[in-house]
Amino acid sequence: MRLLFCGTRGSTPAPGRAHLRYGGHTSCIAIGRGAGPPALLLDGGTGLAQLDEHLAGEPFAGSILLSHLHWDHTHGLPFFGSGAAPGHRVEVFIPEQGDDAEAVLARAFSPPHFPIEPQQLGNGWRFRMLPEGERDIEGYSVLALEIPHKGGRTFGFRVSDETTSLAYLPDHHPLALGPGPIGIGELHPNALALARDVDLLIHDAQYLVEELPELAPMGHSCGEYAVSLAEAAGAREVCLYHHAPRRTDDALDELAGRFTESAVPTRMAFDGLVLTLADADRAGVTSAGH
């Protein structure tokens, strides 16, 4: 399984000189096999448009799983050039809510807030409700479970192939269910099920642990929680994700320094990061990127 991190910020894009190394695009990860094109995308933030250059003008044929419908996870959809190229096929799955997935998604973009509606993205686009549970999507086993966040139904995902697995919890508010064993959030059953024995846990780390008392009601988590979840669930590695938009490159370097000796190996996500997952008997998680 090969992962391309197209966008790693949360809440809003973060352009500017202070964000060049980690990048400023919002949530999107592309999943493929080997050197082949990706067929499964996790979220459709502004990072989605960055996938166009990797597809080199070829149409995208695959599925997009939206963890929830906040702007920073949907605003890339109408700017996805490969999703409009001749021959495209784009299946968009949203957490089950209401009766019509396209109508629900239209609340995120449609006039007067945006020039077009989802149905105008292209003839090859389809919009579907995704219930909780496990199913096959694009040849991957996908487990979708609801996790606490703020302001709308939110799913975390576990994606597995024949040999490897990842868990994706980009927006997670575990303090909503209580302080948990170390005071920074409950290790609740759905989070543990998603992260159980995965090769890589990609997790919300928008806030510093010292910011939680003031900012936690906004619905996010911290790196220390991600590591504690990984340790409890047996995850092999953690990737801290959904960086605060005002967190500069230097500040993210300082954050990374907090986890150099953590209980579970921990890395920082950045735009352009490429990770290849291999099973435990081989190389584990290998990376590339600037």
Going from the N-terminus, what domains does the chain have, and what CATH number goes with each? Answer: 2-288 (3.60.15.10)
| Confidence at residue 216, expressed as pLDDT on a 0 to 100 scale | 85
| Confidence at residue 99, expressed as pLDDT on a 0 to 100 scale | 83
Q: Taking Cα atoms as reference points, which of 269, 190, 255, 218 lies closest to residue 8?
A: 269
| Confidence at residue 115, expressed as pLDDT on a 0 to 100 scale | 96
Quote the DSSP letter at residue 70: -
| Confidence at residue 279, expressed as pLDDT on a 0 to 100 scale | 66
| Confidence at residue 282, expressed as pLDDT on a 0 to 100 scale | 47
User: If 0-12 CB within 10 Å is exposed, 13-18 middle and 19+ buried, where does residue 152 land?
Assistant: middle
pTM beyond 0.85: yes
Q: How far is CA 70 from CA 170, 257, 284, in A?
A: 12, 30, 33
- DSSP state letters, 125-157: EEEEEE-SEEEEETTEEEEEEE---SSS--EEE
Distance between CA 161 and CA 140 in Å, rounded? Answer: 5
Distance between CA 36 and CA 260 in Å, rounded? Answer: 33
Q: How far is CA 42 from CA 77, 129, 142, 154, in A?
A: 12, 15, 11, 13
Q: Taking Cα atoms as reference points, which of 163, 138, 165 lies closest to residue 230?
A: 165
Distance of CA 70 to the CA centre of its chain: 12
Distance between CA 184 and CA 176 in Å, rounded? Answer: 10
Distance of CA 4 to the CA centre of its chain: 11
The segments of the chain whose pLDDT lies below 70 read 279-284, 286-290
| Confidence at residue 74, expressed as pLDDT on a 0 to 100 scale | 96
Distance between CA 120 and CA 117 in Å, rounded? Answer: 6
pLDDT tens-place string over residues 13-66:
999 999 999 999 999 999 999 889 999 999 999 999 999 999 998 999 999 999
